[in-house]
Chains A and B, each alone.
Chain A
Amino acid sequence: MTQSAARAPILAAPRKRRLSRQNWERIVSILILLPSIIALGIFIYAFIGWTGFISLTAWNSAAPDFTFVGLQNYARLFVGGGTDMTRFHYDIRNEVGFLILFVGGCLVTGFLLATLLDRKIRGESIFRSIFLFPMAISFIVTGVAWRWILTPGTEETGWVGVNLLLTNLGLGGLRSAWFTDPTVFYIQPTTPLGEFLHSIGLGFITVPALGYAAAITSIVIAAGWQMSGYTMALYLAGIRSIPDDLREAARVDGASEWEIYRHVIIPLLKPVTLTVVIILAHIALKIFDLVYSMTGGVSAGFATDVPALNMWKTTFDATKFAQGASIAIILLLMVGVLIIPYLVWQTRQEAQ
């Protein structure tokens, strides 16, 4: 009840005498909002349109050139056959791998930590602070720190970071080239499986663009370090909002802790899970700073290249503005497909 009252406009009270004053105040309220609306209209929506326009032009050198070329810049990314295409295909491969592992890893870690912290832990607030503090730090700092921790080193000059630690612990076999690893896991056409796929006409999936670049794991580790505590915080808030009676009732009915989680808590946390997935997935799609600072923005065989980084390098380093704009629009569409239904859902839910 309070909620609906809070949402209703204040103008429900005496009508007749105040009409002119109400109109005046209504106009003032819109006038106050107007600068923000205009600013966002220009800086978000008009600029998106402008980027869309640039992506259809031939502006691929420092000097502006607004010759209309249709979807050429997009075509070059998807089917062009050149380096631009190969790179973009690898970007998508890396983005998909990163998104799945990062979101999945954060969900599992965050949920685990939240359920553990919910069990009347002594020093809970200390644990919570420790799990959450990376969230306050810049992705650049995270990138710098993790680049050092995951610097591989060499046998001759000495191992560094995690590799050094593993060697000292007698686990040298687990050493890895981390973010500098050019390895790509994919179904090679020369293997029996690859040959079989070729024979049944599925040879097109035996390409490095449909695989997983080992170096992405390092980005997942660093990004997960930063964002899993946030996931924990959202889940913990969700778990705490479930009434104790509900769990108590299930316990009285003889449900085990596991069954309570399986049939009561996890289903009730669905909205939280959805929110977490949306937030993390959109962060994953936008990931730029972390990769830039961790790898310096370059990688052998584009093993850690992602669309947001490609856009920036293509636009501002290579001054291929139209090409950069086309990548930006694709990035926007990917985020939009994810976010717009979520925003609509949220607004509807709130209106109810």
Chain B
Amino acid sequence: MAAATQRRPQRRWHWTRILIYAVLILFAIWYLMPIYILLMASFKSQAEALQIQNMWLPPRVIGFKSFQIAWFGSTEPPATLGLEQGFYNSLMLVIPATIISCFIGSINGYVLSKWKFRGADFLFTLMLFGMFLPYQSILIPLVVTYQNFARLTGIQLFATIPGLVVAHVIYGIPICTLIFRNYYAQIPTEMIEAARIDGANFFSIYRRILLPLSQPAFVVVVIWQFTSIWNDFLFGITLANTPKVYPITVSLNNIAGSFHVPYNVQMAAALLTALPPLLCYIILGRYFIRGLMAGSLKG
């Protein structure tokens, strides 16, 4: 039997195998094509970039001028605002928001997996809806609340980085809680029962047993929150409202949206914006995929 099953693919090897590889390679080219275009445009000099008929060809001379303008902006006409400010804003936003999200998600996940009370599952389902919520449906109240928050409490949320952090943390609670809850559900309850008999309480169980085991879940949540906050545009453009606070995606959109900015600068800006999440993906790819799976609710 083994011989029979082995012989069949053997005979077919030639054309089926070659066809499969050919299709896979064609798809790989298709997925890489936009990155190729971004790279080719970004590394060209201004003069070479103007020869649009050569846009699919590699640069004859490699230049970094596009990146320089994309990053620092340029005062010569056409005057361009660079990405630099947006990059730092995004960094200042994404780091605290990710850290806070992790801890909220972790403790919520602990309660919802190991301390289930009556109605916990219903509450969790209500929470999960937040993952799929079209943010348009809460955007007007959110903006109104933010605009009036300083008048009521003295804390400025509108057009500030902390304001963006708050929005991202709150709307990130559902996914972060989900990832930790599903992760903790796999940890055997016997372990926790044993610890309880030894006198461990609510907090020491979390600190001594779950937290030390949580590293993979933390990595998944960090990647998820980092990429989704970095890539967010809607909250940025609605709640930031001033170039001083714009996250990087809004800066990029402003560079690319103004028609006088040369396309090679636009492409360099796009590449710089994509770089941090791409690095994250390349370095931590395995966990990245796990995060994507969690996003589809599968534990």
- In the complex, chain A residues 81-125 whose Cβ is within 8 Å of any chain B Cβ: 109, 112-113, 116-117, 119, 121
A contact face: mostly helix, strand, loop, or mixed: helix
For residue B162, CB closer than 8 A to chain A, the reply is no
Q: Does B270 contact A (CB under 8 A)?
A: yes
A327–B136 CB distance below 8 A: yes
Q: A20 at the A/B interface (Cβ < 8 Å)? A: no
Closest to B277 in A: A136
Greatest chain A CB density within 10 A among B1, B52, B104, B128 is at: B52
A137's partner among B127, B140, B231 (CB-CB below 8 A) is: B231
| Distance from B71 Cβ to chain A, minimum over Cβ atoms (Å) | 15
Cα(A234)–Cα(B133), bound, Å: 22
In the complex the two chains form, is A47's CB within 8 Å of B170's CB? no
Going nearest first, the 5 A-B pairs with the smallest beta carbon separation are A138-B231, A47-B138, A29-B115, A332-B137, A136-B281
Q: Mark B256-267, 1 if CB is under 8 A from A, else 0.
A: 110000010011
Cβ–Cβ < 8 Å partners of A30 in chain B: 111, 117
A174 within 8 A of B: no
Decide if A161 touches B55 in the complex (CB within 8 Å).
yes
If A131-B27, A158-B52 touch, whether A40 touches B170 (CB-CB below 8 Å) is yes
Contact, CB under 8 Å: A138 / B277 = yes
Some 8 contacts from A to B, beta carbons below 8 A apart, are A13-B196, A33-B111, A113-B24, A140-B231, A144-B269, A147-B256, A311-B136, A331-B137
- Interface presence of A220 (CB below 8 A): no
Shortest beta-carbon distance from B241 to chain A in Å: 10
> Does A134 lie at the interface of the complex (its beta carbon under 8 Å from any beta carbon of B)?
yes
Contact A5 B190 (CB under 8 A): yes
Judging by beta carbons under 8 Å apart, are A140 and B281 in contact? no
Contact in complex: B174, A145 (CB < 8 Å): no
Convert B213-249 into 0s and 1s, putting 1 for each residue whose CB lies closer than 8 angstroms to a CB of A: 0000000000000010011111000100000000001
Q: A140-B273, A275-B296 are in contact. Are A25 and B201 (CB under 8 A)?
A: yes
> Which residues of B are at the interface with A, using a C-beta cutoff of 8 A?
1, 5, 20-21, 23-24, 27-28, 30-34, 37-38, 41, 52-53, 55-56, 104, 107-108, 111-117, 121, 123-130, 132-142, 170-171, 173-174, 177, 185-190, 192-193, 196-197, 201-202, 227, 230-234, 238, 249, 252-253, 256-257, 263, 266-267, 269-270, 273-274, 277-278, 280-282, 285, 288-289, 292-293, 295-298
Given contacts A44-B129, A127-B24, A230-B292, contact A50 B233 (CB under 8 A): no
Chain A residue numbers with a CB within 8 Å of B31 are 130-131, 133-134, 225, 229
Interface residues on A, range: 35 or more
Flag if B129 contacts A130 (CB, 8 Å).
no
Please name all residues of chain A whose beta carbon is closer than 8 Å to the beta carbon of B197 when the two chains form the complex. 13-14
Distance between A229 CB and nearest chain B CB, rounded to angstroms: 7
Contact call A144/B256, Cβ cutoff below 8 A: yes
User: Which candidate, A69-77, A197-205, A339-347, is the interface stretch facing chain B?
Assistant: A339-347
Which residues from 309 to 334 on chain A have a C-beta closer than 8 Å to any C-beta of chain B?
A: 311-312, 315-316, 321, 324-325, 327-329, 331-332
